[in-house]
């Protein structure tokens, strides 16, 4: 559906040149929600703006739905952009226009008949839950309502692709959740391909199928969200996954292992592990059944259960105590039963 081939974007010339994207390649399949996550300055906004050529790449090709946008004339590109909707962090609404007229704006630009505009605007406002606010102005709306207007406007032209440029970062957590649910519903109802960029992992975790991690203008890791989230390979990805956990793990090692030193019997060993569960295994008593079988004692030092796009997952930090062979047998059996086990210490 979307293919970026060798995209490089450089600003300035000579000694003052700055490279925002460097030989970047990316593939997004039709109908999926694809997230791009990265820290500030990593190249996220440049990347998403290259997809509809609001930023034209210095090198490389942008293909959307089988069309090479970088080879089109200005008028042809304008027609293709009509198939790519976009919503923004700060809404970009016309302050002097009503909600109705904001949604109608892209339809008026292409001389859509008045009756069709009216039908489409009412359909989109109903979709985003704002049918009672059509005559209001942006200043009369909350942040979440403004973003819903932006979504309705982006969808009014029946696009094949929706680009979301930090669409929730200006919203409070409760409003963010409602907007993400709306995007997920739209994706499922219209089979719309959605690309969103963010610096917030919970946004990716909530609705995305695939994720790419961008750092210094390049993709350093990508794959299914469940795989990248539970088994991060790159240091930048682990940083996103483990924000706020480093201090906790240090305390676990210093306090948890120190206390085990005082409580262990002679000859017993101790091992700190992280166990990850996915899907229905999250709710099964796999750990307790296994330790009863192997005779190992354990203490849960930290744990969480959540979801990744409606798929349950769990992670536990556990201290095993007992005979070293029994501990090894425990970790081996957990892996054989489909759990991911990482030895922390």
CATH number of the CATH domain containing 235: 3.40.50.300
Please indicate, yes or no, whether residues 81 and 10 belong to a single structural domain of this protein.
Answer: yes
Give CA separation, 75 vs 81, 111, 153, in Å: 10, 16, 22
Closest by Cα among 154, 138, 127, 128 to 99 = 138
pLDDT digits (tens, 9 = 90+) for 7-23: 999 998 888 889 999 99
Please indicate, yes or no, whether residues 280 and 232 belong to a single structural domain of this protein.
Answer: no
Domain final residue, candidates 179, 213, 241:
241
Q: Can you give the pTM of this predicted structure?
A: 0.83
255 inside domain:
no
90 inside domain:
yes
Please indicate, yes or no, whether residues 137 and 211 belong to a single structural domain of this protein.
Answer: yes
249 inside domain:
no
Of residues 345 and 120, more confidently modeled: 120
Whether the predicted pLDDT of 74 surpasses 70? yes
pLDDT digits (tens, 9 = 90+) for 313-331: 888 999 999 999 999 999 9
Please indicate, yes or no, whether residues 215 and 318 belong to a single structural domain of this protein.
Answer: no
Domain final residue, candidates 241, 270, 299:
241
Six token digits for residue 281: 């295994």
Range of the domain at 28: 2-241
Q: Kindly report the CATH number assigned to the domain that includes residue 270.
A: 3.30.70.260
Domain final residue, candidates 210, 241, 272:
241
Confidence at residue 77, expressed as pLDDT on a 0 to 100 scale: 92
Q: Are 309 and 241 in contact (CB under 8 A)?
A: no
pLDDT digits (tens, 9 = 90+) for 19-54: 999 999 999 999 999 999 999 889 999 999 999 999
152 inside domain:
yes
Q: How far apart are CA 184 and CA 309, in angstroms?
A: 9
251 inside domain:
no
Closest by Cα among 36, 156, 141, 162 to 105 = 156
Of residues 173 and 249, more confidently modeled: 173
Neighbouring C-beta atoms of residue 75, cutoff 10 Å: 7
253 inside domain:
no
302 inside domain:
yes
252 inside domain:
no
Which residues lie across from 275 on neighbouring strands? 316, 341
Return the beta strands (E) in 32-140 as ranges. Answer: 33-37, 59-64, 67-68, 84-88
Counting the structural domains of the chain, the total is 2
- What would you report as the CA-atom Rg of the chain, rounded to the nearest whole angstrom? 25
């Amino acid at each position: 559906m979307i293919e970026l081939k060798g995209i490089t974007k450089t600003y300035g010339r000579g000694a003052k040149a700055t490279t925002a994207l460097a030989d970047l390649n990316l593939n997004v399949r039709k109908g999926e929600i694809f997230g791009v996550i990265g820290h500030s300055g990593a190249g996220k906004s440049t990347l998403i703006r290259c997809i509809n050529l609001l930023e034209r790449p210095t090198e490389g090709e942008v293909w959307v739905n089988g069309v090479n946008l970088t080879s089109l004339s200005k008028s042809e590109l304008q027609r293709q952009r009509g198939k790519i909707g976009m919503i923004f962090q700060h809404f970009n609404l016309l302050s002097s226009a009503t909600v109705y007229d904001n949604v109608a704006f892209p339809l008026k630009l292409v001389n859509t008949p008045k009756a069709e505009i009216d039908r489409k605007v009412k359909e989109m406002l109903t979709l985003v839950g704002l049918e009672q606010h059509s005559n209001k102005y942006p200043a009369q709306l909350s942040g979440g309502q403004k973003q819903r207007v932006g979504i309705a406007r982006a969808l009014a032209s029946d696009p094949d692709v929706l680009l979301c440029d930090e669409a929730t970062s200006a919203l409070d957590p409760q409003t963010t959740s409602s907007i993400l649910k709306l995007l997920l519903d739209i994706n499922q109802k219209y089979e719309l391909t959605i690309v969103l960029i963010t610096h917030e992992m919970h946004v990716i975790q909530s609705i995305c199928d695939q994720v790419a991690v961008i750092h210094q203008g390049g993709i350093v890791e990508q794959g299914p969200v469940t795989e990248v989230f539970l088994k991060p390979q790159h240091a930048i990805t682990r940083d996103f996954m483990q924000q706020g956990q480093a201090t906790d793990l240090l305390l676990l090692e210093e306090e948890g292992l120190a206390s085990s030193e005082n409580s262990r019997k002679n000859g017993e060993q101790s091992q700190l592990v992280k166990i990850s569960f996915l899907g229905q295994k999250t709710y099964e008593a796999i750990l307790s059944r296994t330790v009863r079988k192997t005779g190992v004692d354990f203490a849960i030092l930290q744990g969480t259960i959540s979801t990744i796009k409606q798929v349950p997952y769990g992670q536990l930090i556990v201290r095993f105590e007992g005979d070293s062979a029994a501990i090894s047998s425990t970790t081996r059996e957990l892996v054989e039963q489909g759990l991911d086990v990482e030895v922390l210490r």
